[in-house]
Structure 1
Amino acid sequence: MENTTTPAVTPSSVGIRYGLITGVIVTIISFLQLALISDPETPVRWLSAVVMIVAIVMAHKQFKKLNNGFMSYGQGLGIGTILTVVAGVISSIFSYVYMTFIDPSYMGRVMDLTRAKMETQGLDEAQIDQAMAMTSKFSSGPLTIVFGILGAAIVGFIISLIVSAFTKNTRPEFE
């Protein structure tokens, strides 16, 4: 007789699977926002964060379903962090491709809007020029990808800290 046991589910396998799905969804949202909405300060930008939170909760549910209903806090934290990093990689690469090849004038329009907002806030020209120079350094080229991934990792870790506290279900010590 052949042994047909299924391999144990791991936090990384669930995190990667849901990260790929979430990355595609966030990329679609990002594309729609970049292509259709001229102001980057729109409330639609928060939709990606909501998608991330929902994806983390769903990934935790799936992990617990495949793990007899149990998930430790650390496993939940790992799943959420891996999920957001994978989604961040996909989304950051898309943003770089979009701003570099599809619509190279996008960052110029954003910089113009930012300059106008700073002027209405009463900042002087030297402060505005300094802020615009710093922004252009960090929002162009491959640094867009690096900061996108770092941002996703940090935000994902923080979200996972909170969500995992609610979704964990540790295995009893003496079972």
Structure 2
Amino acid sequence: MNEKPSTAKIALKWGAIAGVTTIIYQTILFVTGLNRNQSLGYVTLVFTIGGLYLALAEYKRENGGYLSIGEGVGLGVLAATIMGILSATYSIIYMTYVDPTIMQQGMEIARQQMEDQGNMTDDQIDQAMEISQKFSSPGILFLVSVIWSVLSGAILSLIIAAILRREPVDPFSR
């Protein structure tokens, strides 16, 4: 009977690689001031998809060419969690210690966007900004980032696992 490859080892490897890649990209965005451009933020999705695909492909290769959807989703969620923890930790450290003005800049941009839409009164905008301020604490931002990473990782892993899936004809042959 063949031994199954270690999902933890593979998830740690590819989660760390994708997480560090995301951190490097975030640093470039922060330093250049391009972090305000929301469309550039979607590039991290490419790193996430790439990391998940490579993790699932490695598992499949080490598992004799077989990968079930359940194995893929489990591995992907674990890898996405590692990516999310690394990326969120870095973001919190950067926003708290390296450049604490980033949060304030984001709040000012949000206020300006609400004012530009013109469908809210000044009191409503002030109230929305107060609520946003409460949810901008490092702990809440960390938690939301990790939860988002896990949920998006689960969805993306499901899709990737469905594409890469290959189960043995005889389930007892492994």
Is this a same-fold pair by TM over 0.5?
yes
Tell me the residue number matched to 1:117. Answer: 113
Cα contact 1:12–1:78 (8 A) shared by 2 = no
* Range moving further from structure 2, 21-30 or 141-150: 141-150
Partner SS for 2:71: helix
RMSD: 1.7
Tell me the residue number matched to 1:61. Answer: 57
Structure 1 Cα separation of the partners of residues 168 and 127 of structure 2: 54
Partner SS for 1:142: helix
Tell me the residue number matched to 1:8. Answer: 4
Cα contact 1:11–1:76 (8 A) shared by 2 = no
1:78 is aligned to 2:49: no
> Structure 2 vs 1, CA of residues 144 and 55 (structure 1 numbering), >3 Å: closer, same or farther?
same
Structure 1 Cα separation of the partners of residues 35 and 53 of structure 2: 30
* Range moving further from structure 2, 37-46 or 91-100: 37-46
> Structure 2 vs 1, CA of residues 38 and 132 (structure 1 numbering), >3 Å: closer, same or farther?
farther
TM-score, length-normalised on structure 2?
Answer: 0.91
1:86-107 per-residue CA deviation (whole Å, 9 max, x = no partner) reads 0000000001100100001111
TM-score, length-normalised on structure 1?
Answer: 0.90
Quick one: which of 89, 106, 111 aligns to 1:93?
89
When the two structures are aligned, how many residues end up with a matched partner? 170
Tell me the residue number matched to 2:131. Answer: 134
Partner SS for 2:42: helix
Cα contact 1:73–1:170 (8 A) shared by 2 = no
Tell me the residue number matched to 1:3. Answer: none
1:52 is aligned to 2:48: yes
Tell me the residue number matched to 1:154. Answer: 151
Partner SS for 1:129: helix
Structure 1 Cα separation of the partners of residues 8 and 95 of structure 2: 31
Q: How far is 1:83 from its partner?
A: 0.8
Structure 1 Cα separation of the partners of residues 5 and 111 of structure 2: 50
Q: Unpaired segments of 5 or more residues in structure 1?
A: 1-5
Cα contact 1:23–1:86 (8 A) shared by 2 = yes
> Counterpart of 1:144 in structure 2: which amino acid?
L
Identity value in percent? 28
Q: Unpaired segments of 5 or more residues in structure 2?
A: none
Cα contact 2:26–2:35 (8 A) shared by 1 = no
Partner SS for 1:30: helix
Structure 2 Cα separation of the partners of residues 152 and 18 of structure 1: 14
